[in-house]
Amino acid sequence: MNKEQLLSGFFGRIFTGSFTKVDGTRRPVWGVIKKAPDISDNLVVVYDFRKKQYRRFRIDLPFNIRSGKDFVAASGEIKA
């Protein structure tokens, strides 16, 4: 499964969730996933409404996102 398959239902939708930073700490997020074709395949760009900033998170580290009834939780190690 690749990034597009994993997150295809969430692009442009407001979501809540959390992701793991490179240092191992968890960061809560409330925002929207943005398309960014010029970044690595293991990164996702989001706009965080609470922080009013763009954030990137790695899908090869644990994360979870929820929008409405849709939920994705991944423990990392996403293979293309």
CATH number assigned to the domain comprising residue 29: 2.30.30.520
Domain that holds residue 45: 3-74
Tens-digit pLDDT profile for residues 41-78: 889 999 999 999 999 999 889 999 999 999 988 886 54
Whether 20 maps to a domain, the answer reads: yes
Whether 67 maps to a domain, the answer reads: yes
What is the distance between the alpha carbons of residues 2 and 5, in angstroms, rounded to a whole number? 5
Whether 80 maps to a domain, the answer reads: no
> Total structural domains in the chain?
1
Contact criterion met (CB below 8 Å) for 66 and 7: no
Whether 36 maps to a domain, the answer reads: yes
Amino acid symbol at 20: T
pTM score above 0.85: no
